[in-house]
Structure 1
Amino acid sequence: MKTKKAIVIGAGFSGLAAAATLANKGFKVTVLEKNSMAGGRARKFEANGFTFDMGPSWYWMPDIFESYFACFGKKVSDYYKLNRISPSYKIYFGPGDEVILPTKLDEIYELYESIEPGSSGGLKKFLAESEYKYRVGIGEFVRKPSHSIMEYFHWKIAAAGIKLDMLSSFGKYTRKFFKSEKINRMLEFPVLFLGGTAKTTPALYSLMNYSDMVQGTWYPDGGMYEVVAAMEKLAREQGAAFMFNAEVTGFETEKGRVNAVLLENKRLEADFVVASADYHHVEQQLLRKDKRNYNEKYWESRVLSPSSLIFFLGFNTRIPELDHHTLLFDEDFEGHADSIYKNPRWPEKPSVYLSCTSRSDNSVAPEGSENVMALIPVAPGLEDNEEIRKKYLDMVLMRMERYTQRSLREHIVFERSYAHRDFEQDYHAYKGNAYGLANTLMQTAFLKPKVRSPRLKNLFYAGQLTVPGPGVPPAIISGQIAANEIINASLKNKP
């Protein structure tokens, strides 16, 4: 029997997962990556003795990673070492007002009691319901290809769907348990950073709070890129081949199929294609108009998750006031969310996330130094220029100095910024988005862009603009979904 050729476009998490899954089933897999290394948004770079992860920095849902490696008879520990971060993170609300989230549940209950007397009972109930959402959501929902609503017409799923609070907003849901606005802000931050607001995101996503408080926040020694390196190594072990600096320029199609993927000076024949690059770019730039699933009007109507303005900063001093994860929520939280989703504009007083992995890992910065990634979620599609970036760097440093009560500017020995135009250039990201589609009810499951092209039978999509959605674990699952669709189509012999 002839070995089927599968081409995977993009070596981010979804592309790596698709490649390994297909290669494991005997497909001849070639991964095409436009950049010089794997990882997509999760690449890394080194400068002046500092190592910076360029994208994802939170390691949540550890069971998803374990489940992925188990598909190949492997364990996470075969490839990288995980450490649980303690405390999980710190949230600064203003002078003398900060919350440090401990790792032990009993201590978390005590923390909530100190903020809102009597709230520990509500937290126990909230976490029990969040665990149910996590178990059912991961077990029954997120791994479905979501071709149509009919996939969800099963009594078990229908019954579960009621308990999942799909029609209730996240903000309304948390306020059933807690009166304290501080507690609600603490629970809402993953929503803002992963693509939505508490008012528009379904309550289903409280499952993230279960992972946060019960499963914990983890860190791979060496940084998040260790996960990328592990997944690339695993894919190679399964037989996948990689081509870097290999930008796809188009497709050769005939009779409702992709016959070949085109590079600048190369033509690669394919029996199946997984497009894990930006969905919008693949459709609008690489496919002829009559082969597209969606037109530009459709994409304009989508609610995108935020882009990000990121500063990679190397300091030649230790900053003990920072934790591995520090969130500065001492300004207008609601106004910041409004500037992303309601009235897109550069925020006046943004919330700021600081990742300082050198607080947990001595290998990522020179001795006596710190590597800081400062991230501001911002609306996609905004004007991005050096003047704007300089303004916000000054703002970030002012906020850091206000928080630490010390001068930091003169200790900067390395500085690099990254925003919309970089996302567009490096990843062809639609409107410079960082995370994909926002997690709104009308962009959930079968309402997301389809995994399988209806016009080209052997073209499949993976990544953050299709199911299940934004985030590292969903991206891995997305790659598995696309690969399994190809495997099933191949077995039926009717791709």
Structure 2
Amino acid sequence: MARDGTEGPRDERPHAVVIGSGFGGLAAAIRLGARGWRVTVLERLDAPGGRAGVFRQDGFTFDAGPTIITAPYLIEELWACAGRRLADDVTIRELDPFYFIRFDDGTTMRCGADADATREEIRRIAPQDLPGFDRFLRDSERIYRVAFEELVDRPFHRFTTLLRAAPDMIRLQGYRTVHAKVGDYFTSPKLRTAFSFHPLLIGGNPLTTTAYYCLIAHLERKHRVHYAMGGMGALIRGMAGLIGHLCGTIRCNADVVRIEVAEGRAIGVVLASGERISADIVVSNADVAWTYSKLLGHHPRRRWTDRRIARARYSMSLFVWYFGTRRRYEDVYHHTMVLGPRYEALLTDIFTRKRLAEDFSLYLHRPTASDPSLAPAGCDAFYALAPVPHLGSGVDWTTQAEPYRAAIQRRLEETVLPGLGEAIVTSRTMTPLDFRDRLLSVNGAAFSLEPQLFQSAWFRPHNRSEEVINLFLVGAGTHPGAGVPGVISSAKILDQLVPDAQAWRVLNPAPGGR
């Protein structure tokens, strides 16, 4: 109906329903809307963002999840799709250095884009590894050019794509692990840690993740590390605005419980309220294991059966403590890694033994170092993130959360935040239970399927569903994987899989989704 109560014109555009409004879902909605589709995004929470949501508490603003932007051109492309400029809506600021690493003995390392400055850091910590660093930079770039520039936005639903990529994988030793590959360049345990921890940022175990992820070192140097002023929430709001600009719709508090299938084709979704929404295509940004086991639990599946989903290997989870202080810690940088006494043994506890260890390594985020607007005047906003086993560990987080948080507080007081206990004015935590219950992530995994060699590329759930025609997948659990560049690239892949609206209507003349 039109605003004056008269019958308005019928929207004849083909209809795409997007389940979930994380970065992958929002990016998919923008790209589909720009190509003429009518798009409806359905979000079960009360605001868009998914894992990239925002918490506001006692005058503080906390990014719930990702905090780092490493390939801003992928975000700029989304604004260009909508005929707009990113800079008109969101300010992206480059950070240099990228982050500081504090080793357990108090040694620190400044990590940034300047290779000469990094060489000076290596000369101070382990001068014998300087030649290895230069070789590492060279090989990281080689891997980046193949694994990122050529493969990250290429669909892998055909086995022949994997076969064509296999020679490069062998040549670049993608069959090895990140940690083993880094060991070829560095003898110092500190430098081996500093140059191999990056897979943890996307849910991977450096001891088992394919050496292709050594590309992250070059990705950081080529495109730099950036921060969205106002936090990731500002970026989410900007992307939501693009969807509105393209005449799309975002519905929050809309909990999808079922993907409707007829004659092997996705034809719409059913909400928890019982409402049915028809669609020409469905794009799921929900956790892939949840999509197949729950949203398609009624539908016979050949590849992603309940048994295979149960046997898959899932990423670690996260314990995140968000807190605000009544004082500012000017000596603490925007991004700081506060490492514990163990590295390989701790990774084994988290990923293999699935044991909650007494020690931990932390990522400390202090966004107010760059953007004081996220806290009241004279205050700081923080979050401290610790990788922990997923819920397959059996840890009872209803009883363990507070002791674990208190241990993190003690560690921070002893290292980089003296007097923290007296300075805290607001606090909240996120545990693996939140990933399971709030974000519907199977096993409470923070990054969906673990990015191992045989859970990557063709072996990962495909962007075009193998089970149902006209169902597409975006987000951390599908190709190319987790991380902001990965999930946004998964949406970019849809441009190669889904025709634009006009071509779709020619190929599918029967009315649908209206």
Counterpart of 2:141, as a letter, is E
The alignment of Structure 1 onto Structure 2 pairs a total of residues equal to 493
Q: Paired residue for 1:45? A: 55
Instruction: State the shift of 1:491 in Å.
Output: 7.3
Distance 1:288 1:418 in 2: 28
Q: Tell me the secondary structure at the aligned position of residue 357 of structure 2.
A: coil
Instruction: State the shift of 1:288 in Å.
Output: 4.0
Q: Paired residue for 1:281? A: 290
Distance 1:42 1:5 in 2: 26
Q: Is 1:228–2:236 an aligned residue pair?
A: yes
Counterpart of 2:402, as a letter, is K
Q: Tell me the secondary structure at the aligned position of residue 331 of structure 2.
A: coil
Distance 1:238 1:180, change over 3 A: same
Q: Paired residue for 2:5? A: none
Counterpart of 1:6, as a letter, is A
Distance 1:443 1:161 in 2: 15
Counterpart of 1:349, as a letter, is D
Q: Is 1:121–2:135 an aligned residue pair?
A: no
Q: Paired residue for 1:175? A: 183
User: Quick one: which of 504, 509, 513 aligns to 1:490?
Assistant: 504
Q: Is 1:204–2:204 an aligned residue pair?
A: no
1:286-323 CA-partner distances (Å, limit 9, x unpaired): 22443335222211222211110111111111123321
Counterpart of 2:191, as a letter, is I
Contact 1:193–1:377 (CA<8 Å) still a contact in 2? no
Q: Paired residue for 2:413? A: 401
Contact 1:14–1:480 (CA<8 Å) still a contact in 2? no
Q: Tell me the secondary structure at the aligned position of residue 449 of structure 2.
A: coil
Distance 2:287 2:116 in 1: 43
Q: Paired residue for 1:357? A: 367
% identical aligned pairs: 31
Mean Cα deviation higher: 350-359 or 479-488: 479-488
Superposition pairs of residues 302-341 of structure 1, within 5 angstroms: 302-341=312-351
Instruction: State the shift of 1:72 in Å.
Output: 3.9
Instruction: State the shift of 1:21 in Å.
Output: 0.9
Q: Paired residue for 1:427? A: 439
Mean Cα deviation higher: 254-263 or 373-382: 254-263
Contact 1:251–1:258 (CA<8 Å) still a contact in 2? yes
Gaps of 5+ in 1: none
Superposition pairs of residues 86-105 of structure 1, within 5 angstroms: 86-105=96-115
Distance 2:243 2:230 in 1: 20
1:50-73 CA-partner distances (Å, limit 9, x unpaired): 110000012212333334434444
Q: Tell me the secondary structure at the aligned position of residue 144 of structure 1.
A: coil
Q: Paired residue for 2:490? A: 478
Superposition pairs of residues 64-463 of structure 1, within 5 angstroms: 64-154=74-164, 157-263=165-271, 264-292=273-301, 293-381=303-391, 382=393, 383-404=395-416, 406-463=418-475
Instruction: State the shift of 1:74 in Å.
Output: 3.9
Q: Tell me the secondary structure at the aligned position of residue 238 of structure 2.
A: helix
Instruction: State the shift of 1:473 in Å.
Output: 1.0
Distance 1:455 1:188, change over 3 A: closer
Q: Tell me the secondary structure at the aligned position of residue 36 of structure 1.
A: coil
Distance 1:26 1:193 in 2: 35
Instruction: State the shift of 1:455 in Å.
Output: 3.7
Counterpart of 1:442, as a letter, is F
Counterpart of 1:30, as a letter, is T
| TM-score normalised by length of structure 1 | 0.94
Contact 2:30–2:78 (CA<8 Å) still a contact in 1? no
Distance 1:172 1:278 in 2: 30
1:360-382 CA-partner distances (Å, limit 9, x unpaired): 11101111111110111111114
Distance 2:62 2:401 in 1: 19
1:400-453 CA-partner distances (Å, limit 9, x unpaired): 111037221121110101111111222111111111222211111000012223
Distance 1:297 1:131 in 2: 39
1:208-250 CA-partner distances (Å, limit 9, x unpaired): 1112344322111111222212221122222211111000122
Distance 1:13 1:96, change over 3 A: closer
Gaps of 5+ in 2: 1-10, 510-514
Contact 1:17–1:476 (CA<8 Å) still a contact in 2? yes
